[in-house]
Amino acid sequence: MSTTHAASSTRVGSSLKPALIGSFAKLAPRHAIQNPVMAVVWLGTVLTAVATIAGWTSTGFGWAVTAILFVTVLFANFAEAVAEARGRGQAASLRRARKDLVARRLDKAGRENTVPAAELRPGDLVVVAEGQLVPADGEIVEGLATINEAAVTGESAPVLREAGTDRSGVIGGTKVLSDRIVVRVTAESGHSFLDRMIALVEGSVRQKTPNEIALGILLAVMTLSFLIVVATLPFIGGFVGVRVDVVLLVALLVCLIPTTIGGLLPAIGIAGMNRALRANVLAKSGKAVEVAGDVDVLLLDKTGTITYGDRQATAFHPLAGVNAAQLRQAALLASLADSTPEGKSIVRLAREKGEKLVDPEQAHFVPFTAQTRMSGVDLPAGRVIRKGAMDAIVRHVAALEGHAPAELEARVHEVARKGATPLVVSDGRHVLGVVELSDVIKRGIKERFARLREMGVKTVMITGDNPLTAASIAADAGVDDYIAEARPEDKLARIRAEQAGGRLVAMVGDGTNDAPALAQADVGLAMNSGTQAAKEAGNMVDLDSDPAKLLAVVEIGKQQLITRGALTTFSLANDVSKYFAILPALFAASVPQMAALDVMRLSSPASAVLSALVFNALIIPALIPLALRGVRFRPASATELLRNNMLVYGVGGVLLPFIGIKLIDIVLSAMFNL
| Same domain as 172, residue 116 | yes
CATH number at residue 381: 3.40.1110.10
Look at residue 97 in the predicted model and tell me its pLDDT.
52
Residue where one domain finishes, among candidates 417, 439, 461 = 439
Give residue 265's domain range.
Answer: 31-88+201-276+554-672
* Residues contacting 151, CB < 8 A, separation 6+: 93, 94, 96, 97, 173, 174, 175
387: pLDDT strictly greater than 70:
yes
Which has more confidence, 88 or 295? 295
In degrees and rounded to multiples of 5, residue 311 shows phi and psi of: -70, 135
pLDDT at 45: 93
Answer yes or no: are the C-beta atoms of 527 and 534 closer than 8 Å: yes
CATH code, domain with 510: 3.40.50.1000
Catalytic residue among 124, 137, 195, 301: 301
In the chain, how many domains are there? 4
Q: What's the chain's average pLDDT?
A: 81
pLDDT digits (tens, 9 = 90+) for 150-205: 656 555 457 788 887 767 888 887 888 888 899 999 877 766 666 665 565 555 44
Q: How many CB atoms lie within 10 A of CB 399?
A: 9
Whether residues 432 and 449 fall in one domain: no
pLDDT tens string 43-66: 999 999 999 998 888 888 889 989
Compute the Cα dihedral for 539, 540, 545, 551 and give only its sign.
negative
Among residues 190, 224, 246, the one where a domain terminates is: 190
> Do 655 and 620 fall within a single domain?
yes
CA distance 34 to 220: 11
Residue 13, domain member (yes or no): no
For residues 298 and 536, which has the higher predicted lDDT (pLDDT)? Answer: 298
Domain assignment of residue 210, yes or no: yes
- Measured CA to CA, the distance from residue 494 to residue 212 in angstroms comes to 29
Residue 218 has pLDDT above 80, yes or no: yes
For residue 597, being part of any structural domain is answered with yes
In a domain, 611, yes or no: yes
Are 257 and 368 part of one and the same domain?
A: no
Pairing of strands 281-283, 540-542: antiparallel
177, 322: one domain: no
* Sign for the pseudo-dihedral over CA of 596, 597, 603, 604: negative
3-class state of residue 297 by DSSP: strand
- pLDDT of 401 reads 87
568 and 597 belong to one structural domain: yes
- CATH number for position 185: 2.70.150.10
Closest CA to 586 of 239, 246, 256: 246
Q: Specify whether 68 is located in the same domain as 212.
A: yes
Whole-prediction pTM:
0.62
CA–CA gap between residue 147 and residue 484 (Å, rounded) = 34
Pairing of strands 481-483, 458-462: parallel
The pLDDT tens digits for 256-288 are 888 888 888 777 777 777 777 777 787 776 677
Cite the annotated binding site for Mg(2+) by residue number: 510, 514
| 301 is a catalytic site residue | yes
- Residue-wise pLDDT for 64-100, tens only, equals 989 999 999 988 888 777 766 665 655 555 555 555 6
Percent of the chain with pLDDT over 90: 16
Q: Which residues have C-beta within 8 Å of that of residue 395, sequence separation ≥ 6?
A: none
| CA distances to 248, 592, 665 from 609, in Å | 7, 18, 9
Would 150 be classed as within a structural domain?
A: yes
- Listed in sequence order, the residues at least 6 apart from 254 whose beta carbon sits closer than 8 Å to its beta carbon are 40, 41, 44, 69, 72, 613, 616
For residues 563 and 533, state if they share a domain.
no
Residue 91, pLDDT score: 55
Annotated binding site: 338, 342, 368-375, 387, 510, 514
416 pLDDT exceeds 90? no
- Confidence band for 432, pLDDT divided at 50, 70 and 90: very high
- In a domain? residue 157: yes
Considering the domain architecture, whether residues 479 and 602 belong to the same structural domain is answered as no
Of 213, 168, 4, 40, the C-alpha closest to 545 is 168
How is the chain split among helix, strand and coil, in percent rounded to 5?
A: 55, 15, 30
- Cβ(533)–Cβ(510) below 8 Å: no
Residues 340 and 419 in one domain: yes
Q: Among 153, 199, 165, 168, which residue's Cα sits nearest to residue 541?
A: 153
Q: Using pLDDT thresholds of 50, 70 and 90, give the confidence band for residue 423.
A: very high
* Domain membership flag for residue 316: yes
Q: pLDDT higher for 579 or 502?
A: 502
In this structure, is residue 93 part of a structural domain? no
Domain boundary, last residue among 166, 190, 214 = 190
Asked whether the predicted pLDDT for residue 7 surpasses 60, the reply is no
Tell me the residue type at 32.
A
Encode pLDDT of 605-652 as tens digits: 788 888 888 998 899 888 888 888 888 877 666 667 777 778 888 888
Residues 413 and 345 in one domain: yes
Instruction: Say whether pLDDT at 5 is over 50.
Output: no
Are 320 and 435 contained in the same domain? yes
